[in-house]
Amino acid sequence: MELDDGFDDDEPTGQWLPPDDRLWRHPSEVAAFPWPDATRRTREPRAWTTAVLAAAISSLLTTGLIAASGGFRNKTTVVRSTESVALPVAQRSASAGNNQIVDIAERIRPAIVQLDVDTADSKGSGSGVMIRSDGEILTNNHVVQDARSITVIMADGKEYTARVVGADADTDIAVVKIDGPQFATAPLGSADGLKVGYVAIAVGSPLGLAGGPSVSVGVISALGRQVDSRSGPSLLDMIQTDAPIAPGSSGGALLDSSGAVVGVTTAIAVSDVGAEGLGFATPIDIARDVADQLINTGKVVHVWLGVEGEDVTSQTAGDLGVDAGALVRKIRTGSPASQSGIAVRDVITSIDGKAIRSMAALVVALRLRHPGDTATLGIVHDGKTKTVKVTLAERPKTLT
């Protein structure tokens, strides 16, 4: 599988991917739909491998367009226009669930904006979430990367010129700012407490279509996903959803059933047969912390523990005397870890009482901490459990 950035003007690859080529790939390495002589559209700005893709063409039904869905390997399924499938008004209104979605959509749409971005070699569009009434907008780094100009289009059609406040490639989060009157803001919730099967509502501005943001509905499909890339940092602790997401929705909002933002829509999985229907969102807890740092200081400071390692596997668990955790393979000289007594082959199993079951989980846990914080790590050393205290430091610039 690959991560597509939602840009539609990438050059055709001129070759087919083998059926078993299911790696996460940068869009410059392979087209999103690698069919010969395919006509491509304009794209979002040059992006990191994450972004949202044309997986969810079903979200276009509200425009009355005829869309194609399915695997594209055999026959194409044609979806009828909304006129031919719409339910009677009385039947639609009878559903309490529908009414709840309608209420949420009406409340949130004024706070979701479209970003039209010009770079030196491309034009494209993305989405953003208004998080402060003074015009601070949360979006993805890859949406505004290398931007020469950014135009923000509100749900009511009003346009504003925006500037980049700051961006962080590690989390693919950025903040842009517009000046104007008091703006409607989106309520920010928390990804903590989410469970697989919960309702998920995606809101964004797909394909740069006029008329305001689009709304699609699905469920939380999985939590804590790691999405790897060949050309950028891995996305960690991602929320997976089947709520349809379309190109241009990068930087949009993923909501829970109360209408609170629990994630920033960031990526979708694509294989050689097309979109897989797997969307990914950055948890709002991480996105909000990054945004606050960017707004307050213009940069993001990442903490440093100074260990490198891997996950405990079924092959190594028996020898290590633990069933899960972050196995330390290397300790950086002069790092906080080297001064705390952590040793190679130790397994980190918790941080401040919260279980750590993988190296990615350790990285995610550290992202919510700051230089100077003291953390208590649970360690398994030679089969015996102990705790160590470590004072976290700022990650050296040579490691960024």
Q: 284-297 and 359-367 helices cross at what angle (nearest 10)?
A: 40
Tens digits of residue pLDDT in 274-284:
556 788 999 99
Could you tell me if 223 and 368 lie in one domain? no
User: Is 133 within the bounds of a domain?
Assistant: no
Could you tell me if 264 and 386 lie in one domain? no
Could you tell me if 211 and 339 lie in one domain? no
172 counts as catalytic: yes
Could you tell me if 307 and 377 lie in one domain? yes
Residue 25 has what pLDDT?
39
Residue 128 has what pLDDT?
96
170 counts as catalytic: no
Could you tell me if 235 and 377 lie in one domain? no
Of 170, 172, 237, 256, the catalytic one is 172
- From first to last of its 400 residues, what are the pLDDT tens digits of the chain? 445 554 444 444 444 444 333 334 333 333 333 333 434 344 444 444 333 333 333 333 333 322 222 222 333 333 332 233 333 433 433 344 678 899 999 999 999 999 999 998 888 889 999 999 999 999 999 999 999 999 999 999 999 999 999 999 989 999 999 999 899 999 999 998 899 999 999 999 876 677 788 899 999 999 988 887 655 678 888 999 999 887 778 899 999 999 999 999 998 776 655 556 788 999 999 999 999 999 999 999 999 999 999 998 888 887 787 889 999 999 999 999 999 889 999 999 999 999 998 888 898 899 889 899 999 999 999 888 999 999 999 988 777 5
Could you tell me if 244 and 258 lie in one domain? yes
CATH of the domain at 265: 2.40.10.10
Which residues contact residue 305 at a Cβ distance below 8 angstroms, ignoring those fewer than 6 apart?
335, 336, 337, 362, 366, 390, 392
Residue 375 has what pLDDT?
94
Rounded to whole angstroms, the Cα distance separating 177 from 162 reads 5
Could you tell me if 216 and 102 lie in one domain? yes
Rounded to whole angstroms, the Cα distance separating 329 from 306 reads 11
Could you tell me if 99 and 223 lie in one domain? yes
Could you tell me if 292 and 307 lie in one domain? no
Could you tell me if 99 and 8 lie in one domain? yes
Could you tell me if 100 and 228 lie in one domain? yes
Q: Which of 249, 143, 149, 266 is nearest to 203 (CA)?
A: 249
Residue 210 has what pLDDT?
74
250 counts as catalytic: yes
User: Is 197 within the bounds of a domain?
Assistant: yes
User: Is 165 within the bounds of a domain?
Assistant: no
- Using CB atoms within 10 Å of the CB of residue 164, give its burial: 0 to 12 exposed, 13 to 18 middle, 19+ buried: middle
Whole-prediction pTM: 0.69
User: Is 120 within the bounds of a domain?
Assistant: no
The boundaries of the domain holding residue 205 are: 2-53+95-106+186-297
Residue 236 has what pLDDT?
87
Tens digits of residue pLDDT in 34-54:
333 434 344 444 444 333 333
Of 5, 125, 142, 249, the catalytic one is 142
User: Is 273 within the bounds of a domain?
Assistant: yes
